[in-house]
Amino acid sequence: MKLTASSIRDEIIKGNMDIEDYILGKLELIRKNDKKINAFISIDSEGFLRERARNIKMGIRSGKKPMLAGIAISIKDVISTSFLPTTAGSKILEGYIPPFNATVVEKILKEGGIVIGKTNLDEFAMGSTTEFSAYGPTRNPWDLERVAGGSSGGSAASLSYGAADLSLGSDTGGSARLPASYTCTFGLKPTYGLVSRYGLIPYANSLEQISPMARSMEDLALLLKVIKGYDEKDATSIPRAEEKSYEKFKVCVIEDLVRDSDRPIKSSLYNLLYKLELEGIETEYRERLDYINYALPVYYTIAFAEASSNLARYDGKLYGKMGNSETYKKASIDTRKSNLGLEVRKRILMGVLTLSEGFKNEYYIAATKGRRLIRDEILKVTKDCILVSPVSPILPPRIGEKIDDPLKLYAMDVYTVIANLAGIPALALPSSFYNGLPIGVQFMGKPFSESSLIRLGLIIEKITGISGVIAGG
Ligand code: GLN
């Protein structure tokens, strides 16, 4: 049996697998491995998990067939759960237990999923390597000296060593896709508005979506099916979102979206394209996109601006522990200084600067104009073809390698931020290995073309033969 969530779920429903045994096996695996990998910030208690497993079992005995029956799911610690602390990877929210569940969590529980624990991330999802977590970096199960990507690094690593069989990440500029590509897992950033953000601790609202992550295409599709759909609690959620699939696949590669990648990444992509052609899928080559060079600065300007406003609530009064100083102003400065990491504070400062009178036109307003140009161009190209690109221009870096050079760190996102700026769906899945390290590939489609991306992903998965893989397994 392949170690996919879908097959485990089927065996559980048929009564061939016991949920409690299965969940205890996961806890054992976590106990054995998580000290070195550090994928989790919190794990639910054995007693609670057993009780939940028994309840689901009873439901199945009485004829229920929930879509996620008993499956162990890990959830990025930026998604609110009322039964486990939600820290956003920050010291400022240490021990904070939200009074409600995010909509996506409610949906998972309704379908019989078992939330096994909350996963590590860069503080407030700001980063690409999970090194900016206040709870220590997550290590890549394929090579413990390397990062697992970020910011949903804990989610990706938990899947990749088998501690969870499905996971929820979030993706503001690549945070689900980048770690997927570094860990031989699958991640999908949905069309903006397809999945409710209610209960997602915000970093940059206009860019982000909660994103399913898995070890196979079928599993990814299953989790998306469970979490998508209109939610009146999220003002940006789209009512009656209609599928917009492609009648026939045409895959378009643009030299601008490959050129700066390292050799092994390029050759992985072109190899795959060649195999796609052999399968009879039409491919098209183009030289350039007019506005793509602006993607990174536009993305970071908008993300920092939104972050500076979103993070104002962590002042010690609304959220976080209040300092002892005599005035509110002093106390909140103290709280923020001692409980927010350096990268987060840098981003807040830059965001405040780009929004301030005198700078606003030059930075924030200019970035929103740039975003419009990029978006229009990308929407035009993806109208009749699916864009393909690497996920990251490089192989997973070593721990500590990029952390002191913000520009190099941000450059890792060069191919992923495009989909967030344009609001389109983007899928990352494994393409090949180089010296034992996974390499991913990305497909971007027009808004609401998720079903086409999934169909194409299933074809790619067959071509590569990489599916359901566990590191070292
Ligand atoms: N690396 C990007 C950033 O730091 C994206 C993070 C994300 O998608 N949450 O902004």
pLDDT in tens, 33-68: 999 999 999 999 999 999 999 999 999 999 999 999
The whole-angstrom separation of Cα 216 and Cα 310 is 34
End-to-end CA distance of the chain: 14
Atom of ligand 1 nearest to the CA of 128: 1
Average pLDDT of every residue of the chain: 96
Taking the CA of residue 88 as centre, how many other CA atoms within 13 Å lie in the half-sphere pointing to its CB? 24
Residue 435 domain-assigned (yes or no)? no
Determine which one of 26, 76, 189, 228 is catalytic.
76
CB distance 88 to ligand 1 below 6 Å: no
Q: Tell me how many domains the chain contains.
A: 1
Residue 101 belongs to some domain of the structure: yes
- 6, pLDDT greater than 90: yes
Q: pLDDT tens digits, residue range 326-348?
A: 898 898 999 999 999 999 999 99
Query: Per the domain annotation, does 306 fall within a domain?
Result: no
For ligand 1, say whether the CB of 173 is within 6 Å of any of its atoms: yes
Distance 307 CA to ligand 1 centre (A): 11
CATH number of the domain residue 59 falls in: 3.90.1300.10
- Look at residue 473 in the predicted model and tell me its pLDDT: 67
Task: Give yes or no for a contact between 295 and 377, defined as CB atoms under 8 angstroms apart.
Answer: no
Residue 375 tokens, joined: 């978006």
- Does a structural domain hold residue 9? yes
127 Cβ inside 6 Å of ligand 1: yes
pTM score, two decimals?
Answer: 0.98
Minimum-distance ligand 1 atom for the alpha carbon of 410: 1
Rg of the chain (C-alpha set) = 21
Residue 280 lies in a domain: no
Q: pLDDT digits over 190-217, tens only?
A: 999 999 999 999 999 999 999 999 999 9
Q: Token pair of 77, please?
A: 């610690």
pLDDT class of 407 with cuts at 50, 70, 90: confident
- Domain limits at 176? 5-244+452-464
Of the candidates 80, 423, 424, 368, the one whose C-alpha atom is nearest the C-alpha of residue 233 is 80
Residue 444 falls inside a structural domain: no
Question: Is 301 part of any domain?
Answer: no
In a domain, 221, yes or no: yes
Assess whether 151 carries a catalytic annotation: yes
What is the average per-residue pLDDT within 278-299? 95
The letter for the amino acid at 82 is S
Is the pLDDT score of 2 beyond 80? Answer: no
Which of 121, 123, 175, 412, when mutated, tests ligand 1's pocket best, judged by the most ligand atoms within 8 Å of its CB? 175
